[in-house]
Amino acid sequence: MRAGFPEFRLGSVLATSFTATLTERQGDPVERIPVPQRLVDWLAVNGLAVDSCTTAQLERARELRESIHLAATAAALKEPLPGPAVQVINDRSAEGRAAAILTPDGEREWRLSPSSSVEDALGVIAADAIGILAGERDGRLALCASPTCRAAFFDTSQSRTRKWCEMNTCGNRQKKARFNASQRKRPRPEE
Ligand SMILES: [Zn+2]
């Protein structure tokens, strides 16, 4: 982690890990990629290393992020997908020219072209979002139960009953809030 910047929230699903670079959307939002270098850092952590990023590229990345968030939220609510958001996702997907590479160890790596690596990385993220939105992957899109969060996340639990985008943050906070509320209701011995 670089000093002074909010930490990343990393999940196992690329598209929703990306939308989680803005958290507490319904409360006090926390921007986790506030400067181009932080997008470079985030991409590196997610197997999409790029050399550099401009302010314009960061803006395009955020536009894609918010489009994925809108589309995933609509999908979770079983509402029609918003046309402009779908357009952005499709455009970024079409622009990307990343190649999937199979390593000798049998793992997949993304090879980005040196001249357009941020665009290629965004293409990989957009394609990942399309896979989820199209229902191709085993799981369910849902919204976090935390009222200050409401992040769209991809539930791959067997029971498909996950309530929070992340147990360590939203889940624990909700539990603590409920515990505190129940403590307050109980009269103290000295009262
Ligand atoms: Zn949450």
Q: How far is the CA of 105 from the centre of ligand 1 (A)?
A: 35
**pLDDT tier at 10 (50, 70, 90 boundaries)?**
confident
* 169 vs 29: which has the higher pLDDT: 29
Q: How far is the CA of 165 from the centre of ligand 1 (A)?
A: 4
**pLDDT tier at 114 (50, 70, 90 boundaries)?**
confident
- Coil, strand or helix at 53: coil
Q: Give the integer Cα–Cα distance in Å for 169 and 53.
A: 29
When pLDDT is averaged across residues 57-80 and rounded to a whole number, the result is: 98
* pLDDT of the residue at 2: 58
First to last CA, the chain: 47
Q: Is the separation of the CB atoms in 18 and 68 below 8 Å?
A: yes
* pLDDT of the residue at 76: 97
Residue 156 pLDDT more than 80? Answer: yes
Q: How far is the CA of 149 from the centre of ligand 1 (A)?
A: 5
**pLDDT tier at 3 (50, 70, 90 boundaries)?**
low
Least confident stretch, 133-137, 147-151, 187-191: 187-191
Q: How far is the CA of 181 from the centre of ligand 1 (A)?
A: 20
Q: How far is the CA of 168 from the centre of ligand 1 (A)?
A: 10
Q: How far is the CA of 151 from the centre of ligand 1 (A)?
A: 5
Q: Tens of pLDDT along 17-47?
A: 999 999 999 999 999 999 999 999 999 999 9
Quick count: other Cβ atoms within 10 Å of Cβ 79?
9
Alpha helices for the chain (secondary structure H)? 14-19, 36-45, 55-76, 83-95, 117-133, 172-185
Q: Give the integer Cα–Cα distance in Å for 67 and 179.
A: 36
When pLDDT is averaged across residues 119-133 and rounded to a whole number, the result is: 97
Q: Which residues contact 172 (CB under 8 A, 6 or more apart)?
A: none
When pLDDT is averaged across residues 52-58 and rounded to a whole number, the result is: 97
When pLDDT is averaged across residues 162-189 and rounded to a whole number, the result is: 78
Q: Tens of pLDDT along 93-111?
A: 999 999 999 999 999 999 9
pTM metric for this prediction: 0.90
* pLDDT of the residue at 6: 92
Q: How far is the CA of 109 from the centre of ligand 1 (A)?
A: 29
Q: How far is the CA of 103 from the centre of ligand 1 (A)?
A: 35
Q: How far is the CA of 144 from the centre of ligand 1 (A)?
A: 5
